[in-house]
Chain A
Amino acid sequence: MASAEIVDTPLNRDALEARIAPDEHGAVCVFIGQVRNHSRGKQVASLEYRAYMPLAEKQLLRVAEDAEKRWGCQVALWHRLGIMKPGDASVAVAVSAPHRAEAFEACRYCIDTLKALVPIWKRETCPDGTWWIEGEEAFPASEER
């Protein structure tokens, strides 16, 4: 069964992978996205993710369910919110499937799709201030709301 969670705590890989990979599956593919120390040509000191929670977890689960249906695989998605430092894992996709081709494809589909469909926004704190990132655009943010 597909699983999706949005939390404000660091990634626990064992817990994530425990949700997938029954014995009849021969392939496990895990993707982890981590906070980069630079963005748009600037140094990133820290980064914050905020979500529209009433829809975010629902949407994340829909992506997982969709992938399971298309590739006959098992999917566990994870996204972290709150303030993170470069090197911290912010998103994780874990997929298991009977064979590696489905596992790779489904994993790639999940990360690409969730970026577009899950209402989560990034705030980057750089030397020149804090910025809301929305798609390709950046807007200045007040430091604290």
Chain B
Amino acid sequence: MESALPEGSAPGEPPSNQLRLIGAHMPSSGGLSSCLLSGREIGCTAVQLFTGNPRQWSHPPLAEEEIRAFQNAREETALPFLCAHDSYLINLAAPDADVLDRSRNAFRGELERAHALGIPWVVTHMGAHLERGEEEAVARLIESLVRILEETDAAGCTAGIALETTAGQGTGLGWRFEQLGAVLKGVDHQQRIGVCMDTCHIFAAGYDLRTEDAWENTLKEFDAQVGLSALRIIHANDSKKGLGSRVDRHEHIGKGEIGLKPFARLVRDARLQHVPVVVETPDAHTMHQVNVALLQRLAAGGTGVFVEVELCGHFSEAGPLLQMELPENTSLQQLAEILEQKDARLAGLSACCQFAVNHEFAERGTLLCEGDRVAALPPSSGG
């Protein structure tokens, strides 16, 4: 199989350009190429996609026209980074011999399809032990990966495997960095194996990233156990559930338990500059554009402060939710004046509203910080 990998994004070598690649998992709206076209349309520079039905075991080989259409779309969109996500059914650590066999075959298919399409990485979860022995499951997973890599190596396949950090829901493997590190070591195939870090998953698994210190510790731990050099993809998802909840529920960037600020820190972190970032947040059709644009603005950063302003009562007619970039050291009073100038419907806001910052009432002199959640509250009328 011949594959045209984009320069610099082949497994094993870091991309050469320093542009921060940010995009989304794009649903297909008819043909695989539609993922690229719609991704480009909403401003993605990285796109993740399913190359088959994620709830199906077997797929016929990709038709020539499908591959050609995909290559054309790739050229047309000039998307610098693509990755695939495997089927949800695959469990490369399955205790049941039949399921294990199906999983291995299906995953080989995932790699072959990715290779045929010129997609350098396939993201996969690390499977589940299903209460039948965790150690044995890890050993089976390693064996699966070694075998699949050997077989596909022999067939000339260059698509790599990115093992995704998981939330540790149920009996899922790979929520502890140690385990991920052990699997990488066990497989020992640097060229074609790497890691995808999902922010929602690691947070749910108990790795905090909300403060600068927490993020430093988490990254240090990741580097020690897994190795930053193995990090190929970041899934940027906020979390509906709390730290250590071991429950995997994605939330829009900045709207969940993680909050906006950690994402600003992440996309501005020079150590991760070369790692593409992909969102897998809800409501793809309406919200991917918003989340991608938000991350791109955070990445472009500068010294501005990003805040979210929720407008309540009749002021919600002008919003209800605004993402704003403010000069550093802007006070609530100044924000009120900025809002009034921004939109005629917000006239009178400064005189009548009380403000809340991060869900508590705040004085007008309060200086706003990156990621603050502000609410403008006109006189209430409950009861």
Chain A residues within 8 Å of B, Cβ to Cβ: 33, 49-52, 54-55, 58, 79, 90-91, 111, 114-122, 132-135, 137, 139-142, 145
How far does the Cβ of B203 sit from chain A's closest Cβ, in whole Å? 20
| Contacts A55-B375, A119-B312; A145 near B320 (Cβ below 8 A) | yes
Interface string of B188-221 (1 = CB under 8 A from A): 0000000000000000000000000000000000
Q: Are B381 and A121 in contact (CB under 8 A)?
A: yes
Q: Are B310 and A52 in contact (CB under 8 A)?
A: yes
| Contacts A134-B352, A139-B314; A55 near B378 (Cβ below 8 A) | no
Q: Are A121 and B383 in contact (CB under 8 A)?
A: no
A134 vs B320: C-alpha distance in the bound complex, in angstroms?
16
User: Among the listed stretches B292-300, B334-342, B353-361, which one makes contact with chain A, having 4 or more residues with CB under 8 Å of it?
Assistant: B353-361
List 6 A-B pairs, minimum CB-CB distance, nearest first.
A120-B382, A135-B379, A132-B314, A139-B314, A115-B383, A54-B359
**B311-357 interface (Cβ within 8 A of A):** 312-314, 316-317, 320, 352, 356
Chain B residues within 8 Å of A, Cβ to Cβ: 310, 312-314, 316-317, 320, 352, 356, 359-361, 373, 375, 377-383
How far does the Cβ of A117 sit from chain B's closest Cβ, in whole Å? 8
How far does the Cβ of B271 sit from chain A's closest Cβ, in whole Å? 34
Q: Are B382 and A51 in contact (CB under 8 A)?
A: yes
The interface residues of chain A, by DSSP majority, are classed as strand
A79 vs B377: C-alpha distance in the bound complex, in angstroms?
18
| Contacts A121-B312, A142-B317, A145-B316; A134 near B378 (Cβ below 8 A) | yes
Closest to A140 in B: B314
For residue B380, which residues in chain A have a CB less than 8 angstroms away from its CB?
115-121, 134-135
For residue A50, which residues in chain B have a CB less than 8 angstroms away from its CB?
312, 316
Closest to B320 in A: A145
